[in-house]
């Protein structure tokens, strides 16, 4: 089935998902979120794909949940539907790495979706924020939690209480984004990075992702123990043997993804 609000492409081992609702600055309506979940299911199931890039347009990664779509919903509507849960959280259950390539606005749910990805590469014109407070609500898809973990309480609290936006330079200083690149190099850079990851051993990449994510879910001691056990597990793989043998023999490893 085709897509109305997104575009997808597969370039060698990299899957590209582009949010494509330009008239609404990629506002995350129910249809878009459903399509995004479906596209991620497809990328996850495709053995040829090793990493995914999620991006928007030059003007907006996504300007948030669709305000017009949700403005008339009642408490019972949103509570009974568990609004902003189904589909939205699909990004966080994806086992393959997802890079958010963000240009322009990443606001509200847009910022939250970017933060659900594994890391964010920002164009110079990127702007991040949780402006929900200015429309009479609060972040609903992890903004108060993930932003606080990324940038600390003081900045997160100020942004959530005032709706102030953060530019790319501040976002990089604060640790929200991994790198800033010139606007016209955003996609080439994100694709190069994704291809690099996709060219490594799939199971080992998955273990690294799982281990870093564990840092957000547990204590330091438990996290280190989890990491140590996964590290031990890598020694049960053919790729660990191949990677270390290739290093000693000064050649490029041939990953079996086993
Ligand atoms: N929902 C629905 N439509 C949106 C939208 C949104 N979040 N953001 C932008 N649009 C629409 C506008 O209504 C406008 O449509 P029309 O042409 O039909 O009027 C179109 O996109 C272009 O937007 P603007 O004319 O406003 O563009 P601008 O360049 O002047 O301003 C902006 C850009 C500062 C991003 C501004 O659009 C804006 O403030 N958007 C809303 C940001 C926001 O509050 N996001 C949080 C949403 S709530 C949420 O996300 C909850 C959650 O945690 C999940």
How far apart are the C-alpha atoms of 18 and 4, rounded to whole Å? 11
**Sheet arrangement for strand 14-19:** 6-11, 14-19, 51-55, 98-102, 119-123, 179-181
Give the rounded percent of residues in the chain with a pLDDT score beyond 70: 100
* 185: confidence class by pLDDT, cuts 50, 70, 90: very high
Q: What is the mean pLDDT of residues 170-196?
A: 98
Mean pLDDT across the stretch 91-116? 98
| pTM greater than the 0.95 cutoff | yes
pLDDT score for 174: 98
Decide whether any atom of ligand 1 lies within 6 Å of the 70 Cβ. no
Confidence at 218, pLDDT banded by 50, 70, 90: very high
Which residues does the annotation mark as catalytic? 65, 109, 112, 132
Q: Where are the alpha helices (DSSP H) in 201-237?
A: 202-214, 220-234
In the predicted structure, residue 1 carries a pLDDT above the cut 80: no
Mean pLDDT score, 14-20: 98
Pocket of ligand 1 contains residue 246 by CB under 6 Å? no
Q: Decide if 227 contacts 214 (C-beta within 8 A).
A: yes
- Take residue 20 and report the two structure tokens written for it: 């494509």
> What proportion of the chain, given as a percentage, has pLDDT over 90?
98
**What average pLDDT score do residues 236-245 get?**
98
Question: pLDDT for 53-76, tens place per residue?
Answer: 999 999 999 999 999 999 999 999
What's residue 86's pLDDT? 86
Q: What is the mean pLDDT of residues 124-142?
A: 98
Q: Are strands 179-181 and 127-129 parallel, antiparallel or unpaired?
A: unpaired
What are the pLDDT digits (tens) for 195-210?
999 999 999 999 999 9
62 CA to centre of ligand 1 in angstroms: 9
Contact 237, 201 (CB under 8 A): yes
Going by C-alpha positions, the residue among 197, 162, 188 that lies closest to residue 52 is 197
**What is the Å distance from ligand 1's center to 155 Cα?**
23
pLDDT of residue 52 exceeding 90: yes
> Per-residue pLDDT averaged across 225-244, rounded?
98
């Amino acid at each position: 089935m085709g897509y109305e609000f997104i575009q997808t492409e597969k370039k060698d081992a990299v899957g590209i998902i582009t949010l494509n609702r330009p008239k609404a600055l990629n506002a995350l309506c129910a249809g878009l979120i459903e399509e995004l979940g479906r596209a991620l299911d497809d990328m996850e199931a495709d053995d040829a794909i090793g990493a995914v890039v999620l991006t928007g347009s030059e003007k907006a990664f996504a300007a948030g949940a669709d305000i017009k779509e949700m403005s008339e919903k009642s408490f019972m509507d949103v509570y009974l539907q568990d609004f902003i849960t189904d589909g939205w959280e699909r990004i966080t259950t994806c086992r393959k790495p997802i890079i958010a390539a963000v240009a322009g606005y990443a606001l509200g749910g847009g910022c939250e979706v970017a933060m659900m990805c594994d890391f964010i590469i920002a164009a110079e014109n990127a702007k991040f924020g949780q402006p929900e407070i200015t429309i009479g609500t609060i972040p609903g898809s992890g903004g108060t939690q993930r932003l606080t973990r990324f940038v600390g309480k003081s900045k997160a609290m100020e942004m959530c209480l005032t709706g102030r936006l953060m530019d790319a330079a501040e976002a990089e200083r604060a640790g929200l984004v991994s790198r800033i690149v010139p606007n016209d190099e955003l996609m080439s850079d994100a694709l190069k990075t994704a291809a690099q990851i996709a060219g490594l051993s799939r199971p080992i990449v998955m273990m690294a992702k799982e281990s870093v994510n564990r840092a957000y879910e547990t204590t330091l001691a438990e996290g280190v123990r989890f990491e140590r056990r996964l590290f031990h597990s890598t020694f049960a793989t053919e790729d660990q043997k191949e990677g270390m043998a290739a290093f000693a023999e000064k050649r490029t490893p041939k990953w079996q993804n086993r």
